[in-house]
Amino acid sequence: MENVPAAFRNRASERAMRTWTLLVLVFIYLPMVAVVLASLSKIRFFMFPVKAWSLEWYVSVLSSIEIRDYLWTSLIIATLVTVISVLLAIAGALAFARYDWKGRSIYQKLILLPIFFPQAVLGLAILLWSSAWDVSSGWELAVFAHLVWIVPVVTLVISIQVYGFDPAVEEAAFDMGASRWQVFKEITFPILWPGIFSGALFAFLLSWGNFPLSAFTTGAEQTIPEWLYAKMVAGYTPQVPALGTLTTLLAGVLLLGGYWLGTRRRK
Amino acid sequence: MMNAPGPSSLSKARKDSESVIPMPGSPTRLQAFAAWARQPGVLLSLPALVVFLFGFLGPLLLVILYGFMPARSFGLDHLPTLENFVTVFQDSYYLSFAWSVGLALATTIILMLVCWPVAYGLSRIFRRSMILTLLLVLPLFVSENVRLFGWVLTLLNHGILDGTARTLFGWEVSDLLYNVPVTIMGMVYVYLPFMLFPMALGVSMIPEACREAAFDMGASRWQVFREVEVPLAMPGILIGALLTFVLTLGSISEAKILGGQSVIMIAHDIETAFTYAQNWPLGSALSTLLILLTGVLVIGLLSKLNIDKLLSRK
């Protein structure tokens, strides 16, 4: 080993890593491709290779009023979660990474705890908690449950941006006589914008795709992931893969669009 | 100066019993607290802290309290009892607990091996390639049900794998679903990003100069890995391992959708106790055990981490 020149040694292991990464990507995307194939095949119960193709399941998904209701529920929850969690997380991230105060290191760890906890059990605990407060379940409770988990995630995402931010710029603005609000609006917010933007994107997408927290908190109402699960377990129709494909596409488009906007801003 | 020492005997007694002697002009404890609480950091921390206390700590404490209530009661107005915990060990609930711990361990170890080369490549070879990162992040945003269902379609008899093998080679690759290995594969699949990204953060903390120096001093590839790279990337590896372990420990969907209930996970027992069985105290007792195990592990690790150093990358 010692006699092998460094360049060669790196190239061999580099090739191995590239191959392995490709295999991992295949592992990640193979089942998603399977979902797309099932949504496009004509027969009710999936068989591969696909013999007859059809778009009828997409037509039935898009024309179903029932599914439109679930779509609205999901959208309302995700939108509210995004707005609220970003507002809370901007404050939280400044406390997390910008200011030095006694108790900060405990705060940093406390705030992260919900990320390190199984969501299904958290959902049940919140359900129990809400019944103790006489709050009935519904999409409002789901928003609350999502926030418990998503606020820490967004705080973390924005904090990474805050760490790269030089407090001297804020102080300079104060010295020049700017008010607190002016400094936030003209200095802090624009500098933190990339982090806030990715935090908002994360919040929306995580809420949009969440199943375990919604499952125990939405009560009689249903989100898209809940409907998909219910139909997988009983009364399967290829509407499941069709809607699954559509939601995956939406997530992908939002993610790519967000990335595209992010790079365009930087130029 | 409300707390300035006055001539009354009451304040004298207080002064003697406490070591803090407030002098006129020097801050008292209350004033010190008020000064602390007025700092922008403290004020800004409050909203997220309220969500944490009211949405996380409160519910979990309530669950722990319910764990000590008599079986099938629906309130906290009973004398505390340990009967639920006795039931956990008598009615073989500990088996699902053991299975969950075992599967979580297996998943964590497999994911460490699977993710290391990718995490390594992500920060060295691919130079944080944005497209690759996006491809690896996207699954996080697709409901795990949909992705696990994709595996059902892949592994089903006449599914993607079986169908391909039949058409190309005339082989039958059937009955792949509903067993323990496929359950583990589902967990590895769903929790991969949770190991990968913290691990990549850890790998990015290895200074290139350290590796070069070790190679120059004649260390073998294996020695560099074991003595330089792994120790330096350890914070990231540990966070990834902890996240994976804890989330797998409390998972339900993989065992249900892919495993076909060949393994009953603890979270499934908890769910059943809370919903079908309407036995909140039993579900709470099971949850309490889960909260204890994850709490010890998570607090043990987080208390050792320096979050500023880990995230600021300076």
Q: Contact B149/A244, CB-based, under 8 Å?
A: yes
User: Where residue B26 falls among pLDDT bands split at 50, 70, 90?
Assistant: low
**CATH 1.10.3720.10 is right for the domain spanning B93-268:** yes
DSSP per residue, B142-179: S-HHHHHHHHHHHHSTTSHHHHHHHHHH-------SSS
With tokens 């989330």, the residue in question is B247
Residue A47 phi/psi, 5° resolution? -135, 140
Q: How far is the first Cα of chain A from the last one, in angstroms, to the nearest whole number?
A: 45
DSSP code of residue B138: G
* Nearest C-alpha in A relative to B64: A125
CB B186 within 8 A of CB B151: yes
pLDDT score of A73 more than 90: yes
Our CA-based measurement puts residue A258 at a distance from the nearest CA of chain B, in whole angstroms, of 11
C-alpha B149/C-alpha A31 separation (Å) is: 8
* Nearest C-alpha in B relative to A147: B51
Non-local (6+) Cβ contacts of B283 within 8 A are: A124, B269, B270, B271, B272, B273, B274, B277
CB A232 within 8 A of CB A171: no
What is the rounded average pLDDT of the residues B12-40? 66
DSSP code of residue A53: B
CB A125 within 8 A of CB B60: yes
Residue to mutate among B29, B33, B43, B45, with most A CBs inside 10 A, is B45
DSSP H helices in chain B: 9-17, 29-37, 40-52, 58-66, 83-90, 93-123, 130-137, 144-155, 160-169, 180-203, 208-216, 221-224, 230-249, 253, 266-274, 280-302, 307-312
User: Where residue A30 falls among pLDDT bands split at 50, 70, 90?
Assistant: very high
DSSP code of residue B227: I
Q: Which of A100-104, A112-116, A185-189, B27-31 has the highest mean predicted lDDT (pLDDT)?
A: A112-116
CB B232 within 8 A of CB B281: no
Paired residues of A53 in beta bridges = A41
pLDDT the model gives residue B248 = 94
**Domain boundaries of chain B, sorted by first residue:** 93-268
What is the rounded average pLDDT of the residues B177-199? 93
Integer CA distances (angstroms), A155 to A93, B60, B142, B314, in order: 5, 21, 21, 20
* Nearest C-alpha in A relative to B46: A92
Q: Contact A118/B251, CB-based, under 8 Å?
A: yes
Our CA-based measurement puts residue B99 at a distance from the nearest CA of chain A, in whole angstroms, of 16
What is the rounded average pLDDT of the residues A160-170? 86
Residue to mutate among B52, B123, B145, B185, with most A CBs inside 10 A, is B145
Number of C-beta neighbours around residue B124 at 10 A: 18
Our CA-based measurement puts residue B15 at a distance from the nearest CA of chain A, in whole angstroms, of 26
Between B79 and B296, the higher pLDDT residue: B296
B236-250 per-position pLDDT tens digit: 999 999 999 999 999
Q: Contact B311/A229, CB-based, under 8 Å?
A: no
pLDDT score of B60 more than 90: yes
Paired residues of A41 in beta bridges = A53
Task: Please give the torsion angle defined by the CA atoms of residues B212, B214, B220 and B222, in that order, rounded to the nearest 10 degrees.
Answer: -90
Write down the mean pLDDT value for chain B.
Answer: 86
Q: Contact A259/B298, CB-based, under 8 Å?
A: no
Question: CB-CB: which of A30, A156, A256 is closest to B134?
Answer: A256
pTM exceeding 0.80: yes
Residue B309 phi/psi, 5° resolution? -65, -40
Question: CB-CB: which of A2, A18, A209 is closest to B143?
Answer: A209
C-alpha B22/C-alpha B11 separation (Å) is: 11
C-alpha A5/C-alpha A3 separation (Å) is: 6
* Percentage of chain A modeled with pLDDT above 90: 52
C-alpha A173/C-alpha A164 separation (Å) is: 18
Length of chain A equals 267
* Nearest C-alpha in A relative to B189: A28
Q: Which two tokens stand for residue A186?
A: 């003209």
* Nearest C-alpha in B relative to A180: B40
pLDDT the model gives residue B307 = 85
Q: Contact A163/B312, CB-based, under 8 Å?
A: yes
User: Where residue B192 falls among pLDDT bands split at 50, 70, 90?
Assistant: very high
What is the rounded average pLDDT of the residues A54-72? 89
Residue to mutate among A21, A51, A243, with most B CBs inside 10 A, is A21
From chain B, the residues in CB contact with A38 under 8 A are: 153
Q: Which two tokens stand for residue A180?
A: 């607190």
What is the rounded average pLDDT of the residues B131-153? 90
C-alpha B100/C-alpha B267 separation (Å) is: 9
Element (DSSP H or E) covering residue B207: none
* Nearest C-alpha in A relative to B157: A47
C-alpha B172/C-alpha B292 separation (Å) is: 46
Q: Which two tokens stand for residue A134?
A: 């006489």
Asked which of A33-37, B20-24, B108-112, B213-217 is least confident by mean pLDDT, the reply is: B20-24
What is the rounded average pLDDT of the residues B32-46? 88
Q: Contact B51/A147, CB-based, under 8 Å?
A: yes
* Nearest C-alpha in B relative to A224: B143
Residue B84 class from Cβ within 10 Å (0-12 exposed, 13-18 middle, 19+ buried)?
buried
Asked which of A52-66, B48-62, B94-108 is least confident by mean pLDDT, the reply is: A52-66
Q: Which two tokens stand for residue A202?
A: 């994360």
DSSP per residue, B170-187: -------SSSHHHHHHHH
Q: Contact A95/B267, CB-based, under 8 Å?
A: no
Q: How far is the first Cα of chain B from the last one, in angstroms, to the nearest whole number?
A: 45
CB A55 within 8 A of CB A239: no
C-alpha B6/C-alpha B10 separation (Å) is: 9
CB A72 within 8 A of CB A224: no
Single-letter amino acid, residue B29: R
**Domain boundaries of chain A, sorted by first residue:** 56-266
pLDDT the model gives residue B2 = 40
Between B10 and A48, the higher pLDDT residue: A48
pLDDT the model gives residue A23 = 95
Q: Contact B150/A224, CB-based, under 8 Å?
A: no
Peptide bond into A238 cis (omega under 30): no
Among B274, B273, B272, B266, residue whose Cα is nearest residue B291? B266
C-alpha B147/C-alpha A233 separation (Å) is: 15
pLDDT the model gives residue A265 = 65
Residue B25 Rama label (left phi>0; alpha psi -120 to 50; beta):
left
The CATH classification number of A56-266 equals: 1.10.3720.10
CB B293 within 8 A of CB B250: no
pLDDT the model gives residue B16 = 42
With tokens 């959208």, the residue in question is A75
Q: Contact A124/B271, CB-based, under 8 Å?
A: yes
Among B267, B274, B275, B273, residue whose Cα is nearest residue B291? B267
* Nearest C-alpha in A relative to B168: A49
pLDDT score of B27 more than 70: no
Q: Contact B126/A21, CB-based, under 8 Å?
A: yes
pLDDT the model gives residue A1 = 42
Integer CA distances (angstroms), A76 to A89, A111, A254, A257, B106, in order: 20, 25, 17, 21, 38
Our CA-based measurement puts residue B25 at a distance from the nearest CA of chain A, in whole angstroms, of 23
Q: Contact A31/B148, CB-based, under 8 Å?
A: yes
Residue to mutate among A37, A112, A121, A147, with most B CBs inside 10 A, is A121
